[in-house]
Each structure stands twice: as structure tokens, then as C-alpha cells.
Structure 1
Amino acid sequence: NIAQRRNIDDPGTVSEFAAIVKDQTNLDALMLLTLADGQGTSDENWSDWKETLVWQLYHATTQYLADRHSFYDRAKTAREARETLVQVRLGSDYEEEIEAHFEFMPDHYFRAFKVGDIVAHVELFRRFYDSTCFGETPLAPVFSWEPMPDQGHTVLTLCGWDRQQLLSKIAGSISLVPLNILSADIYTRGDHVALDVFRVSDLRGGAVVNEREMALVESTLRKALEPDGTDLNPLLAQARKKGRRSPVADLEFPSRVSIDNQADPYFTLIEIQTPDRIGLLHDLLQCFSRNEIDIALARISTESGAAIDTFYITDRHSHSKLTGTQRMNTLHQELHAAALGS
């Protein structure tokens, strides 16, 4: 559950998990049991992506148990070390872009991505600015697709101007293909440019490699982001009626929304459990946008037709955790209604 629903790039999550397992012997035994349980279940409940998350948590916890002080030192120095390596990889031609990237990106971004990923992101930012200055559609985002068949997903990275309902429109465009969203990492730089990283799979749980499906996501999103652009709500409603995914209406799984201000020092955690359906994430993200909430990280998990989604969020204006009982209650009610599609 921790691997699939929490931010395992956060050292706090790793230390919390290490306190539960206590030592390497217990960690090894738990890993073997988890793998055996996963291999013994259906493809719908276990996937290469879920196994990748479990291994990532296992390796991070192993490092923490071996030497917690060096573990924290590595986390603290990740930003500086990566900047030097990125400069070496890209050269002096990218000096200003690298400086801006490392100045405007939050610390948890540099814990989440390796040097090769950051290099690709800086290059994507240049593509976006070139498109903004010289392209035919200066307000449109730019896209990068990286299939990872061994891990059962494709990394879809988008770079574009931050704007209202950007995330919900991305999620809706992906769902209409239809593709599954496994996770979303959302970063908005101080210069108001967003970098959103989605891990997506096809309906069989494999990497997305079909160029037609990729092109459909891109064209749908571009149209949705235009002034007076495409309203995705009726398209998603039509897709739900066609029933292109297995129906879950009869699933005995009650919808539940929990809001937790204690689990993370910087973010409010919201967990939503509800029957999965086409456009669910789009509806939830629309709700967050209406309530002026920013999402830093989303973990999306589907098991036996049930969606179990976790969001790390902050207030859009204060950039801190949510406060106020009335606001919490209102958000809880609206998210519950969105989960039910009402």
C-alpha cells in the first residue's frame, strides 16, 4: 500500500516504512511475500508498474537501514550534485536554461528524477519555448513519449503554460483514447511553466506504443486548451455509455474520501477509494481546480475495478496545507460527489 499510494521519493516516507519493518531481515521477508502474492494474483491486480514501485521502496529502505545518516545526506545533496552533472551533459549552450530549471523547481523534483530524466526535461523546456516563439500554436504544450515495456508503462511528459483545469484536461484526453493513468507527478516552476509527468498504460497493462493513440491524446488536449475549446465532459459521458471498459456498477465497494494533514510535513494528503470508471480522474481534478487547490503528486491505483487514488495537495494561494474545518468539509463533500459521478 505504501509503495502504490505514498510518495516514495520522500525520505520521510522511507523512514516511516523503515520504522515499521525494523530491520533488513523483516524487509527481505516482506519483499518475498509481496512478490509471491503479486505473482499469484491476476494481471488486473498486479502489474510491472506496481512491481517497479515495490522494488523502489525496497531499495530505498535498504539504504536507510544500512546507514540512515548517509541516506539523508544523499537526499540533501541531490540538487547540487545533479546540477553539475546536467551541465556536463548539456554543455554551455544550455547554461541559462539549466540555471532557471534548478532555481525554479522544488526540492522533491530532484529527489524524484535521475540526471538523464532532468536532461530530457531541460531539453523539453527548450522545445516549448521555441514553439512558443516560433510555432503555429504558441499556447499549446509540447509532448514527450517514452515507452518502457519492461516496466509495463509509457512515460508521457508535457511542458506548457500553467492554467486553470490543465490537469483535468490532460486526464480527460488520456481517458478518451482510452488509456490507464498509473501516476502523475506535477511540477509548476516559478516562471509559471508546468512540467507534468504521467505514467500511462494500455488497457492490457502494457506500455503505450501505438502512435495513433499518442497522436489522439495530443490533438484532443490541444483542442481542449484552445479558447472556447472542446468541452471534454460530454465526450467522456458518451464514452462511459459505450462501456469500453468492464462495468463496475455492481461492484460492492463503497466510495470513501479521507483528508490527512498529519502524514506529510508540507502537503495535505487526500485518499479517494471508489469504483473505477472512464473519466474518474478528470472529474476529481476538476473538483480540485474549482476549489483552488494545487496538486504536487498523484498516485493512481486500480485493483479489481476499484480506484484507490492519493493526492498530495496545497492551497493555490498560500502554497501550504489546507486549513479550516468548513473548507475541509466542503471539499470532502464535493470530492465524494465527483467520485460518484453526481
Structure 2
Amino acid sequence: HLELWRTANTKNINDPSTIAKFAQIVGSKRWLNYLMLLTYADSRGTDLRSWTDTKEAPLRFLFLETREYLEDAKAFSKKRKEAKDELLQRVIEQLPQSHKSTAMDHFVEMPARYFLRNEASHIARHVKLLVDYFKDWASTESVQRPILHWREIAQQGCSEFSVIWQDQHKLASCLTGALAAQKVNIISAEFFARGDGVVFDIFRVCSTKFEPITSSNKKKNIENLLVSGLTEKDFSYDDLIKEADKDLLDWHELANQFPQR
């Protein structure tokens, strides 16, 4: 009963592997039906208003996906594999022939949840970035720099910031430190680790004025700070972040201006 709530609300229920693991816990369609009824009765019995459409949506999705898996696990997996194969074909159609092998490798190396969150045009753009990354990796004798890509999303008041690099210690903390030091707000972040050790991290970010990041100097500073954080032994973002915070509005001070109960 608690595992149903936990899985529906804290795990990636769009990932087929999550559904498969939960189905193994439940064991059968009969027990799945009992479990869903128990959860509904428990929630409604506690408070008639506690069962809302918002709360029901992830539970219903998990229930339906798990039921489909328990009915025929092979058909469940085949259906999703066919959808992934169709997506691959749409990606390849948007790429030059020379990028085909990189696209096919990308579909093998990336985790399943990546393909559920990105449409064909986005994946095609990512493959082009990977081609540049591997070309740079093959031709560089010194310390390799990451591939950083910025895309403005003006209608949403933000930018998409993508990073391709070898997976390494402190990478996530250095990314967030470099962004904070340049007064860049992180709206969302997704971290994808490929099977070959390459990581693909995608951030939605904005300025302190809730606008896309357009300054080329700021973008270059972020790249330099990221590399410094990972290559210089005693490098720290602390002083840079404190300095950046001086120019920001003190939200605690602002809150004190409003009546508090």
C-alpha cells in the first residue's frame, strides 16, 4: 500500500523499468486490483476530500501501466521498443548520413527516461553536439573542455543549457557552482549518464530578471569556472557566490515587511 504511493509519487513512472519492478512486487493482476481498491478506500475513509484528480493521476497511470505489464510482459516491452525504434528513425531523418552511427549508439547508451522526455528534433540536436564532442576528444592532446550549448526559449523566459563531458567527481556541484557565481537561476535540471561514461546534463536556466541568458561573456565565464572547479585542486566557488549574492534582493528582509501570523 505504501509502496504504491511511494512509487507513483517519487519515482519515474514513465520508465518501463520502474513499472517492471513494481509489477514484480505486486505479483498479479488480482493483487494489483485489491491494492488499488485498498488505497482508494483508505484515502476516502480518512477524508472524503483527500482523493483529488491530482492525487489520482499518478496512481491511475501506475495502475494501468502495471496491469498491462502483468497481462503480457513481452507485449509490454515490445510495444515500447517499437516506439523507441520509430523515434530513432525520425531522428535519423533529421541528420546527415555521417551522423547515423552516432545516433544509433546514442539510443543504445542513453537511459530509457531520456527518450520519454525528448522529442526527435531535440535528440537530433543532441546527436550533433555529440559528434562535435567526439571530434574534439579525438583531436585534443591537452585537457579536454566540455561541449556547452545554449538555446534561448524566449517565450518561456529562459534558456536551455546543455553540457556534454566525461562523468567525473564533483561535476554536478561544479556546474551549479559556476551558474550561481554568475547569478544564473536554475529552473530545472536533468542528469543523464550514458553507458560509455559520457554525461549529458540539461538545465533550464534564467537571469535574475527571469530572462534568457544572452551575454556571451557570461556564458564564457561559466565555462571557465566549470573547468577551473574540476581541474584546479584548491578552487572554490564560495567567495564568488557570496560576491554575487550581494547584488541580489534580500528575500528574508523583504518578507519581514509583510504582516506575519
Are the counterparts in 1 of residues 15 and 113 from structure 2 also a CA contact under 8 Å? no
Are the counterparts in 2 of residues 79 and 107 from structure 1 also a CA contact under 8 Å? no
User: What letter is aligned with 2:107?
Assistant: F
Cα separation, 1, equivalents of 2:82 and 2:177: 37
Counterpart check, 1:130 vs 2:143: no
Counterpart check, 1:218 vs 2:217: no
Cα separation, 1, equivalents of 2:200 and 2:226: 15
Aligned to 1:248: 251
User: What letter is aligned with 1:230?
Assistant: F
- Cα deviation, 1:79-125, whole Å, max 9, x if unaligned, reads 21111112222243123211211111111100100111111111111
- Cα deviation, 1:153-203, whole Å, max 9, x if unaligned, reads 100001000001101101110111111100001001000000000000011
CA displacement at 1:248 relative to structure 2: 3.3
Check 1:191–1:197 CA distance in 2 against 1; reply closer, same or farther (3 A cut).
same
Aligned length: 201
Root-mean-square deviation (Å): 3.5
Q: Partner of 1:129: helix, strand, or coil?
A: helix
Cα separation, 2, equivalents of 1:187 and 1:121: 12
Aligned to 1:296: none
Aligned to 1:184: 189
Are the counterparts in 1 of residues 95 and 124 from structure 2 also a CA contact under 8 Å? yes
Matches within 5 A, 1:5-44: 10=14, 20-21=52-53
Aligned to 2:24: none
Matches within 5 A, 1:107-256: 107-135=112-140, 137-228=142-233, 230-240=235-245, 242=246, 244-249=247-252
CA displacement at 1:237 relative to structure 2: 3.4
Cα separation, 2, equivalents of 1:7 and 1:124: 29
Check 1:101–1:11 CA distance in 2 against 1; reply closer, same or farther (3 A cut).
closer
Cα separation, 2, equivalents of 1:181 and 1:199: 6
Stretches of structure 2 that go unaligned for 5 or more consecutive residues are 1-8, 17-50, 69-76, 256-261
Larger % of strand: which? 1
User: What letter is aligned with 1:172?
Assistant: G
CA displacement at 1:21 relative to structure 2: 2.2
Larger Rg: 2
Q: Partner of 2:251: helix, strand, or coil?
A: coil
Larger % of helix: which? 2
Cα separation, 1, equivalents of 2:212 and 2:13: 23
Are the counterparts in 2 of residues 154 and 207 from structure 1 also a CA contact under 8 Å? yes
- Cα deviation, 1:29-79, whole Å, max 9, x if unaligned, reads xxxxxxxxxxxxxxxxxxxxxxxxxxxx9xxx9xx9xxx9xxx99866442
Stretches of structure 1 that go unaligned for 5 or more consecutive residues are 13-18, 28-56, 253-342
The answer to which structure, 1 or 2, has the higher relative contact order (CA under 8 A, 6+ apart) is 1
TM-score normalised according to structure 2 size? 0.65
TM-score normalised according to structure 1 size? 0.51
Residue in structure 2 matching 1:87, options 80, 87, 92: 92
